[in-house]
Structure 1
Amino acid sequence: MSEREDFVETLDKHRELLRRTVRDLTDAQAAERTTASELCLGGLIKHVAAVEARWARFMTGGAEAMRAGGEDPGRAGGAEAWADQFRMAEGETLAGLLAEYERVARGTDELVRTAPNLDLAHPLPPAPWFEPGATWSLRRVLLHIVAETAQHAGHADIIRESLDGAKSMG
C-alpha cells in the first residue's frame, strides 16, 4: 500500500470511530452535554469537519486559503463564537452534520490521492501555538488531521458513554 493510501485508510479508521459514537442517536441526544465540558457529540462532528476543511484549504493554498472558508469562529467572533463550533446550533441536525463531514472527508481523501507532492510546504498562519515562521508540509498537515480526528473520537467516546452507557471503542 502506498503512503497516500495509508493516510486515507488511517483517516477513515478514525473518522469511523468518531461516526460510530453518534450511531442511533436523536438530534436532541447529539446536542446534549453530558460532562462538565461544552462538548456535545454533534458539536464534535461539526468541529472536526470544519477543522479538516480548513487544513485541506491550507494544503492547496496556504494560510490565506485556510482563512477563506469563513468558518473560523476563533478569529471572527471571540470566545462565544469559538464555543459555538462545539455545539449544535438551532436548526442543525445530526444527519446534516454527518453529511457535511462526509463531504469534507471525501474532498480530503481526493486531495491526498492527487496532490502533486506531499513534501510541498506552506508557512503556517500567525498564531500563538505555532512557532513564528514555521512551515508545514502536506504530509505534516495530514498527520495533524489524523491526530485531531483521533483525539476527538476519544472525547466523543467518553461523551457517548456518559449519555447512555454505549461505548464505541471498547
Structure 2
Amino acid sequence: MVVTVEPATDKRSGRAMGRAGTPIRQGTPIRQGTRPDLIASYAPSMTTSSEKTDLLEAFAEQRELLLITVRGLTDAQAARRTTVSELTLGGIVKHLAQGEEVWTQLMVKGDGELPDGMLDMGQYRMAEGDTLPALLERYAAAARATGEAVAGLPDLDHSVPLPKTPWSPPEPGSWSVRRILLHLIRETAQHAGHADIIREALDGANSTAQR
C-alpha cells in the first residue's frame, strides 16, 4: 500500500508545491531508466535446495522495490528529510547495506561475535562525504556477499550463533539461515514502504506503477 503524503498548496494557483517551493505532480510514477541497475535478481545457481533459490529471489525483488525510490535523485535529495522521521532515502540504503554486511559476517564466521558496526547509529544517516552512488555500490556488494554466503552454507537449517546486544536476552541463542533471510526480507520490505513515503513527500513520485 502506498501512503499519500499531502504536500503544501500554492494559495493562488492551487498547485501542489514541493519543499523547495517548486510545483510537483502527486502520484507521479517514478519512470524506468532513471535508476542505476546495480542489484539484479541475485540467486546463485543451486541444485540442492530450491528453497534457497526462492528466498534469494524474493529478497532480490524486495531490494529492487526499495531501489525504485532512489531513481534519479541527487545526493542532496537522498540526504533530505521530508517527514517528521529522521529517516532519509540515502540513510535507508546505508542502513540496509550495513545490515546485510553484519548478517553475512555472522553467517560466514559462525562465532557469535558482535560484528563491527552492528550497533553504529550513524548507519541511518548520510554522513558528510557519503554519496548516493557510493552507497548503492556498497548495497550491491552487500547483496552479492549475502547470496554467496547463503549458497556456501550446507542448508537453510544451518544454525548461526547470535551475538550479545543491548536488546538480546542473556543467552542470545542461535538462528537458522532461513530465519536470518526471512528477517532481512522483512526488514527490506518495511524500509521499502518507508522509502516510498519519503520519496512521495520529496517530489510527488511513487513506485506504484513499477511493480
Q: TM-score, normalised by structure 1?
A: 0.87
**Could you tell me which amino acid in structure 2 is paired with residue 30 of structure 1?**
A
Pick from 10, 22, 31: which aligns with 2:79? 31
Q: What fraction of aligned residue pairs are identical, expressed as a percent?
A: 54
Pick from 102, 106, 112: which aligns with 1:58? 106
What is aligned with 2:61?
A: 13
How many correspondences in the alignment?
Answer: 159
Q: CA deviation at 1:128?
A: 4.5
Quickly say closer, same or farther: Cα 1:122–1:8, change in 2 above 3 A.
closer
Cα separation, 1, equivalents of 2:156 and 2:86: 35
Q: CA deviation at 1:60?
A: 1.4
Quickly say closer, same or farther: Cα 1:132–1:122, change in 2 above 3 A.
farther
Cα separation, 2, equivalents of 1:131 and 1:137: 17
Q: CA deviation at 1:130?
A: 3.2
Name the SS of the counterpart of 2:175 in structure 1. strand
- Residues 106 and 161 in structure 2, CA contact (< 8 A), matched pair in contact too: no
Larger fraction in helix: 1
Output aligned runs, 1:64-75, within 5 Å.
64=113, 66-67=114-115, 70-74=116-120
5+ residue gaps in structure 1? 75-81
What is aligned with 2:159?
A: 121
- Residues 17 and 169 in structure 1, CA contact (< 8 A), matched pair in contact too: no
Q: What RMSD, in angstroms, separates the aligned Cα atoms of the two structures? A: 1.6
Q: Which structure has the larger Rg?
A: 2
Cα separation, 1, equivalents of 2:128 and 2:169: 37
Cα separation, 2, equivalents of 1:123 and 1:39: 30
What is aligned with 1:146?
A: 185
Cα separation, 2, equivalents of 1:12 and 1:152: 14
Name the SS of the counterpart of 2:142 in structure 1. helix
Cα separation, 2, equivalents of 1:59 and 1:146: 16
Cα separation, 1, equivalents of 2:161 and 2:150: 19
**Runs of at least 4 residues of structure 1 off by over 3 A?**
128-132
- Residues 160 and 167 in structure 1, CA contact (< 8 A), matched pair in contact too: yes
Cα separation, 2, equivalents of 1:13 and 1:132: 35
Q: CA deviation at 1:135?
A: 1.4
Pick from 100, 112, 117: which aligns with 2:150? 112
Cα separation, 2, equivalents of 1:157 and 1:117: 34
